Amino acid sequence: MRKIFFYVIVVIIVFLSLLPFLWFVDTSLKSTVEVTSIPPVLVPSGSLHFYQSGIEQYELLHYVKNSIIVAGMTTLVTIIISIFAGYALARLRMRFKGLMLGGLLIVSMFPQISIAGPVWRILDAFGWLNSYQGLILPYVTLTLPLGVWIVASFFKELPRELEDAARIDGCGHLQTLFKIIFPLAAPGIFTAAILVFIYAWNEFFFALLIMTQKQFQTLPVGIALFQGQYTLPWGEIAAASTIATVPLVLLVFLFQKRIVRGLSAGAIKG
Amino acid sequence: MRLSVIAREKIFAVSLIIPSILFVTVFAFYPLLYSFYLSLHRIILGLPGLGQPFIWFENYRELFADRIALHAMINTFLFVFLSTFFEILFGLCIALVINQHFRGRGVVRAAVLVPWAIPTVVSSQMWRFIFHDKYGLVNYAIYGSQVSHYKAWLADPVFAFSAIVVADVWKTSSFAGLLILAGLQMIPDELYEAARIDGASAWQQFKKITLPLIRPALLIALLFRTMDAFRVFDLVFVMTQGGPADATNVLQFYGYKKIFAEGLMGYGSTISVLVFVITLFISLAYIRVLGTRLFEERI
């Protein structure tokens, strides 16, 4: 009896988590008539019409390309810098460690609006509004706290003896980092990369400010600003939303364990 | 010159951390100070001929007399309070469930993570469609085919605000749940066994063992969620544009509108500073409750 009750709750939770999004996927597979029918049609005819018109009329793939470039580059740069900083903070003797960790934590809590105007002005001064680097640089800054904290917490768990052995064998600091630590911490680094990628893929606020030309806009901006001639193009919005979300759903189902661990990494050890 | 081993290690450590410091300084801390600088000037983007006159705290005086700003602040606090409350509540339920051992737990955990992974803009459009006055699922679920009863939820101040809270709770409860789950996993099973032997009921176990032991995790989840809820923007931008009649106008959206839509860089920056100061005080309060020890030991 208790078991049945438990499973009922599990089903409710899964149902509530997935249903709203599945409804949008369902919408994306409807025909034009079905989307605007009142009351709504529950089972779609499975037409790919909106995907086609999203790609042809709204240049959907263009946004996808921009998102891949921005999120991909952000992930790459953030992770490289995080490995350096994370190693120093987790392993090396250094002054002001607490201050730096605290500083990073504060940055992760910054409300975007508190730096938005100046960031816009700085980028404007460099002529980097509407350029990939113009968005990647602020993204790297905003994802660094996440990257450094996760990477450092994984470094911390590796046994110190390995490094000591490497050092005795004559490895320099940099060599130890790349030959010993890096391969061992690869799973942790990968976890951080997934989380940074998801953040950069989803970010909207700065993308909206910095990318005012359609040519450089990322998927979230495109999806938020989709306009039809008379009414909102719900079918195309749903199709674009599905395309923006499917990679993330795949990541979640493939790497659920890592993500769960990464998100709680460092958050709890108190 | 030969340096000692320790000196060399320190130099190496500093050179490793320099790139991070550069990024954080140029794109986070410097802009923060710059916001304050801007807030003391009159800068109107559309009128560059005005220059940038220094006007002391004139913008702040205007801000404190600005009824819309006050309204936005009240909305923001209400949003933060309601959404974090429900997120922690549902997050706790989710955590308790996915902490159990059962078949298919991995799939359930992944399913719960889906709302967290979805881009906020996508979830905002999705909820906007679900609350749509004609094609929405909510109207259909309540009124079926009695189309004449269909409501324009997002055009009603109270319902629009609730809709934004619902969308946020749906999206981020699982994140709160994961942080709480990490706390649950630290509780040794022996405690529950001992309690069972002593004849404690499930509710007693929850109240006397689980709750006190996950308190730090709960507080951390609360801290993260509060800070994040303060930044609410995407939902408002996509679902309501702050309307109807400013019912869903929140500080970050108002600041965005002032600076970027109206071009009032100086006045808008006072809102930036205000939001920062508020979040700073809130996080300091949390850190006091949690104890700084927790943060120092996290790495």
- Tell me how far apart the alpha carbons of residues A179 and A157 are, in angstroms, rounded to a whole number: 17
Tell whether B158 is within 8 A of chain A (Cβ).
Answer: no
Q: What is the pTM of this model?
A: 0.93
Is B273 within the bounds of a domain?
yes
Cβ burial, residue A11 (10 Å; 0-12/13-18/19+): exposed
Q: Do A38 and B134 make contact, defined as CB atoms within 8 angstroms?
A: yes
B6 within some domain: no
Q: What is the pLDDT of residue A270?
A: 32
Enter the tokens of residue A37: 């029918």
DSSP states of B118-165: S-HHHHHHHHHHHT-TTT-HHHHHHHTT-GGG---GGGSHHHHHHHHH
ipTM of the complex: 0.92
**Percentage of residues of chain A with pLDDT beyond 70:** 97
Q: Flag whether B279 is in a domain.
A: yes
Relative orientation angle of helices A256-264 and A186-202, to the nearest 10 degrees:
90
Q: Is the pLDDT of residue A9 over 80?
A: yes
CATH no. for residue B74? 1.10.3720.10
pLDDT at B284: 85
Buried b (16+ CB within 10 A) or exposed e, A119-152: bbbbbeeeebbbbbebbbbbbbbbbbbbbbbbbb
* B117–A84 C-beta distance less than 8 A: no
Q: Do A205 and B129 touch (CB under 8 A)?
A: no
Domains and CATH numbers, chain A: 22-57+226-265 (no CATH), 77-216 (1.10.3720.10)
- pLDDT, residue A26, reads 92
- Are the Cβ atoms of B181 and A264 closer than 8 angstroms? yes
Residue B116, min C-alpha distance to chain A (Å): 9
* Residue B118 resides in a domain: yes
pLDDT at A230 exceeding the cut of 80: no
Among candidates A20, A202, A253 on the partner chain, residue whose Cβ is nearest the Cβ of B126:
A20
A46-76 CB burial, b ≥16 within 10 A, e <16:
eeebbbebbbeebebebbbebbeebbebbbe
pLDDT digits (tens, 9 = 90+) for A158-197: 888 888 888 888 888 888 888 888 888 898 899 999 999 9
Query: From the candidates B76, B114, B174, B186, which should be mutated to test the interface with A, based on the most A CB atoms within 10 A?
Result: B114
**Residue of A35, A153, A220 with shortest CB distance to B121:** A220
B140/A14 Cβ within 8 A: no
- Picking from A178, A185, A196, the residue whose alpha carbon sits closest to that of residue A76 is A196
Q: Which residues of chain B have pLDDT under 50?
A: 299
Summarised one tens digit per residue, pLDDT across range A137-150 is 999 999 999 999 89
For residues B278 and B227, give the distance between their C-alpha atoms in angstroms, rounded to a whole number: 10
B11 assigned to some structural domain: no
A234 touches chain B (CB under 8 A): yes
Considering the domain boundaries, does residue B8 fall inside one? no
The boundaries of the domain holding residue B176 are: 37-297
- Find where tokens 């409710």 sit: A12
Q: Is residue B236 part of a domain?
A: yes
Of B94, B256, B293, the CB nearest to A113: B256
> In which band, very low, low, confident or very high, does the pLDDT at A268 lie, cut at 50, 70 and 90?
very low
B118 and A119 in contact by Cβ < 8 A? no
For residue B60, being part of any structural domain is answered with yes
Question: What's the total number of domains in chain B?
Answer: 1
Asked if B297 and A84 come within 8 Å (Cβ–Cβ), the reply is no
Whether residue A31 lies within 8 A of chain B, CB to CB, comes out as no
| Beta strand segments in chain B, E | none
Which DSSP letter does residue B50 get? G
Res A3: pLDDT = 85
* pLDDT given at position A229: 67
CB contact under 8 A, B119 and A257: no
